[in-house]
Amino acid sequence: MALPVAFFAVFFAWPVAAIVARGLKTGGSWQFGRIADVVGQPDIRHVLWFTTWQALASTALTLLLALPAAFVFARLDFPGKQALRAVVTVPFVLPTVVAGSAFLALVGHGGLLDQLWGVRLDTTVWAILLAHVFFNYAVVVRTVGGLWAQLDPRQEEAARMLGASPFAAWRKVTLPALGPAVAAAALMVFLFTFTSFGVVQILGGPTFSTLEVEIYRQTSELFDLTTAAVLTLVQFAAVGAVLGVHAWTVRRRESALRLVDPGLTARRPRGAGQWTLLAGVLATVALLLVLPLAVLVRRSLDAPGFGYYRALARTDGGTFLVAPVHAVCTSLQYAAAATAIAVLIGALAAAALARRDAGRLVRGFDALLMLPLGVSAVTVGFGFLIALDKPPLDLRQSWILVPLAQALVGAPFVVRTMLPVLRAVDARLREAAAVLGASPWRVWREIDLPLVRRALLVAAGFAFAVSLGEFGATVFIARPDNPTLPVAVARLLSRPGDLNYGQAMALSTILMVVCAAALLLLERLRTDRTGEF
């Protein structure tokens, strides 16, 4: 645990504490009275209210649309199921900037809806809610569907034989068993939407602002560090409460159920109801997930002769110091370095947490590992500039600053992917190897590593995709001559003109293709045990 604890202390706790202290400490004394003053402002209360209710609405809408898909993937067997699983998961690994760009191309000015029916939904709450469903659809499908596929169907069949209707059997037998997984998925979606930044920044315009967007505005535009620090503390408290409930539901899910081989529960659709449900899920995936991405690709091809793509190689646009295409190579290099860091830190943390003799303090670190996913990435990025600005850690001019910020987001995915597999390794294998004289390092190399190698590759794939799309912290610390793809897309969208918009669509398409390629490779490596979140 030494290296993971040191990593999170130096590159997460310290920057966050530094930015909060900078905002709340004046003249050597803490100004805690400013918390009530800031929270009491009407515009801040409006931001808090909008952040909360849009997260609740997004969560409810995501559950409503994704739970039928969870059943389809868990209990139905049909041609193209694995390919469809990959399609469903693509939006989750895409950067929020790309998700916002895709919906902007669909519902914004000159978008598909505007061209066909003269309807625009950008700068409306519906665009934000649908974009959140687009982004989080896979969370529900993977989390709930993964457990649903392992539930013994004979329990529901027994209820049917005793006279229960199909709905009554599902409500009284299956739903209680799925309750912890549904609650965990709902809390994860709420967490992601509560801290939403890229989607709201692009689709919300000046009308809507979440806590994350407001922290960015107060920090980068108004330079009001006190208000930003207070909002960070509010977000930190809310996220801590959500993670506490999430940890409780995960413990219930792991300890209360007996599971079966998921390969034994899926069958071909039977009856008109199941075929109708399958058709409905396919239509939802096509309209909600595939259509925005297809429109994004089409808008990137509006200029004849791949004009927007060719323009990416020029530097005469004035938006960047280098050609926009340079962001592709920069992002790949940063993501590769961030993946190496995340895999090292995450694997060590997972190995420590998987030990059956781990103490309460070590187990508590499991929840802390998830905090970078919920705490403001904007705060972390700006905190990097404040905390890491003097020896022995003056990294402001170092290229490693961006991969370090990206690794903070990738490491929790590595832990979540590897931990179940490490916990499933029979401890007697390790004990037998130790009795035969193997050192602890050799036990890990000969016993654990062969069993978790595939999970490690899956974890690396997720970390790479997540690092490639990190935006909140990177927008602060990426150098002007080395922008990443998400930062380049956001800068292009912020400037007027068809050329800038078209280049943003082209860069978003490139980023989508790279993320999808990483995901398809991950799907080829996954197993039923290691493939779920």
User: Beta-carbon neighbour count of residue 450 at 10 Å?
Assistant: 9
Cα separation of 413 and 402, whole Å?
18
Query: Three-class SS of residue 393?
Result: strand
Residue 392: asked if its preceding bond is cis (omega within 30°), the reply is: yes
Predicted confidence (pLDDT) per residue in 12-56, tens digit: 989 888 888 877 776 666 666 777 777 778 888 888 899 999 999
Checking if the pLDDT of 503 tops 80, the result is yes
Cα separation of 241 and 190, whole Å?
12
* Neighbouring residues of 138: CB distance < 8 A, sequence distance ≥ 6: 88, 89, 91, 92
Q: Out of 281-285, 402-406, 407-411, 470-474, which region has the weakest mean confidence (pLDDT)?
A: 470-474
Residue with tokens 């900078």: 22
Provide the token pair at 387. Answer: 């905390």
Report the helix count and the strand count for the chain, using DSSP H and E. Answer: 28, 4
Q: Which 3-state string (H, E, C) describes 485-496?
A: HHHHHHHHHCCC
Amino acid identity, position 75: R
Q: Out of 5-19, 329-343, 359-373, which region has the weakest mean confidence (pLDDT)?
A: 359-373
**Per-residue model confidence (pLDDT) at position 532:** 41
Percentage of the chain exceeding pLDDT 90: 10
% helix, strand, coil for the chain, step of 5: 75, 0, 25
**What is the enclosing helix (H) or strand (E) of 139?**
helix 125-148
Checking if the pLDDT of 345 tops 60, the result is yes
Burial class (CB in 10 A: 0-12, 13-18, 19+), 508: buried
**Per-residue model confidence (pLDDT) at position 256:** 42
Checking if the pLDDT of 318 tops 50, the result is yes
Q: What is the dihedral of CA 86, 88, 89, 93, to 10 degrees?
A: 120
Provide the token pair at 221. Answer: 């535009």
Predicted confidence (pLDDT) per residue in 462-493, tens digit: 788 788 878 778 887 888 778 888 888 888 87
Checking if the pLDDT of 526 tops 60, the result is no
Residue with tokens 């969560």: 59
Enter the DSSP assignment of 346.
H
Predicted confidence (pLDDT) per residue in 86-125, tens digit: 788 778 777 777 788 788 788 877 777 777 777 777 667 8
Provide the token pair at 178. Answer: 């799925």
**Per-residue model confidence (pLDDT) at position 249:** 58
Provide the token pair at 448. Answer: 């654990």
| Bridge partners (DSSP) listed for residue 102 | none
Predicted confidence (pLDDT) per residue in 261-312, tens digit: 555 566 788 878 888 999 999 999 998 889 988 888 888 888 888 888 988 8
